[in-house]
Amino acid sequence: MCSIRWPSTPAVAERDAVLSTLGVPAGKDPISTYSRGVAHIVGAMQRHRVRRLAVVSSSGVDPHPYSDGGFLFNRVLLPYVTRVLGKTLYEDMRRMETLVRASDLDWTIVRPGGLYHLPSVTDYTVVEGHADGRFTARVDLAASMLALLDEDRHLRTTVSVITTVENPTLLRWIRREALAKS
């Protein structure tokens, strides 16, 4: 179990917004980092009258088949990752999303695809709901979250962020991202 520091009064007080990028690895043990963390964040924001919140969730919370996914990815790998391997992770992300939606804050839930490294920001895409793209560069996720603060277009909505160029192949992504953590 990892130790988590929840936002203290100084971390939230007198701020314009809070960006939550909480994350833990998937596992079979129960996970509550996302829901407990956002409960503390929402409470601190309400106490200090901070309105704007953006939280990172995952496209795996509400998985859809991908047009380029093929049978193996859409019917085998995606269900295995979201219903078996990452079951407790995605269950907690769903609890987090429920808490965020129930709040009176000006929130946006951001659902990236599989995260990977790129050296600089690309022409990423942000859409309300589900985006048909399997991968999101971490720099694009960060840039999109900061951009959300400059506009009110996606208040109280769930958006997907996808990187549209320089995406890895599924095998390369698994090798570099998923297997590197074990």
Q: How many angstroms separate the CA atoms of 124 and 9, rounded?
A: 34
The predicted pLDDT at position 34 comes to 97
Supply the pLDDT for residue 1: 43
* 107's tokens: 């929130």
Helix (H, G, I), strand (E, B) or coil at 160: strand
User: Which pLDDT score is estimated for 56?
Assistant: 98
pLDDT at 65: 78
CB 133 within 8 A of CB 162: yes
Q: How far apart are the C-alpha atoms of 15 and 4, rounded to whole Å? A: 21
Strand, helix or coil for residue 77: helix
Q: What are phi and psi of 152, to 5 degrees?
A: -105, 10
pLDDT of 33: 96
Tell me, what's the pLDDT at 180?
Answer: 65
* Global confidence as pTM: 0.88
- Output the tens digit of pLDDT for each of the chain's 182 residues: 444 555 556 789 999 999 999 999 888 899 999 999 999 999 999 999 999 999 999 999 998 877 777 777 778 877 888 888 889 999 999 999 999 999 999 999 999 998 999 999 999 999 999 998 889 999 999 999 999 998 899 999 999 999 999 887 777 777 777 666 55
